[in-house]
Amino acid sequence: MGSGIGLALAKELIQLHHGTIGVRSQLGKGSSFEISLPAGKPVYAQDEVLPEPSVADPDWTTGELVPEVESTSNPQAASVLLIEDNLELRTFLTRKLKPHFQVLEAADGSSGLNTAIDALPDLIVSDVMMPGTSGVNLVDTLKQDWRTSHIPIVLLTARTAQEQQLEGVQAGADLYLTKPFDPTFLLESLKTLLRNRQLVREHFRRELSIDTTVPASQKVDRKFIQELGALVEKNVNRSDLSVEELARDMGLSRVQLYRKVKALLDCGVTDFIQNIRLTKARELLATQSITIAEVAYQVGFSSPTYFSTAFKAKYNISPSDFKNLHQKN
């Protein structure tokens, strides 16, 4: 079975050479394709013509038709992990994505799984039919893992049966594209998934400012935030509570914990801890007849002064004014 991308790749190459491609089909007899390419260099712009090969140039590769496309120069650009065992298709897709994303590559499901866990990319695009771990199994594993459950995943496949597509969606795939597909549609879909992820982050952050129980779009993400929040609340009176300790208790590395919280809440782990401390402080100020200093130490601040500054920065009111307001009510 082919990769299903042949026509799209052929069209892309022909258009790069200012040519055209047409097709004529007759049911039961087959199809014929006509390709028209201009002769000579006059139709090409200066930057579209490669220099003549030189034996002194060690980077020249015989037969290379298109120069290497540079990755986006934006260091803040989102990262995409492309998992595809077909080298031709992987190269084609990498070339389409590089101007917009930082692209990571994996040639099979097993290496793709390891790369996803190590690098925690912003997006994953994976083939379904691969040696070893299939795309569907890959999705199921990543969506059940706290470290990677938040990552949007797009599955690519030549299989068109509805039950096979349903299998991928049920495993947790965010988008399922059948080959051949329009590369521009894939690119725009990835951008849309990123925008949707940002909306989820904003929702999480609004909820976090009110309550430590943060709803999530997926059960695993909800459980992750709830358990991390419960762990912080359990140690909320400790001013020495560290990110390293939280990561260890959650079974993650410090970097993995940071990237996970950043992806879900668009904030650092330290900010997450501080939000919970301040939420708890607000509750104590509203319900308990204790001093501002006692509240500060009970929620893990090292000094009442620092606590007052942080509280006012978050709620636009001093702890004393907040307390007086609730006592009057």
Tell me, what's the pLDDT at 206? Answer: 59
Q: CA-to-CA distance for 9 and 182, rounded, in angstroms?
A: 10
Residue 262: pLDDT band with limits 50, 70, 90: confident
Q: What are the tokens at 123?
A: 């997006």
Cβ proximity of 273 and 229 under 8 Å? no
Instruction: Indicate the domain borders of the chain.
Output: 69-197, 211-328
Domain 211-328: what homologous superfamily? Homeodomain-like (1.10.10.60)
CATH architecture of 69-197: 3-Layer(aba) Sandwich (3.40)
- Tell me: the pLDDT tens digits for 154-186? 998 876 656 666 776 777 788 888 877 888 889
pTM (whole model) above 0.85: no
- Tell me: the pLDDT tens digits for 15-32? 777 788 888 877 777 788
Tell me, what's the pLDDT at 197? Answer: 77
Tell me, what's the pLDDT at 305? Answer: 94
Tell me, what's the pLDDT at 126? Answer: 93
Q: CA-to-CA distance for 221 and 200, rounded, in angstroms?
A: 11
Q: What is the mean pLDDT of residues 49-60?
A: 41
Residue 1, number of CB atoms within 10 A of its CB:
6
Tell me, what's the pLDDT at 3? Answer: 45
Q: What distance lies between CA 197 and its chain's CA centroid?
A: 8
Q: What is the mean pLDDT of residues 251-264?
A: 89
Q: What are the tokens at 80?
A: 């995409």
- Residue 1 confidence (pLDDT) above 50: no
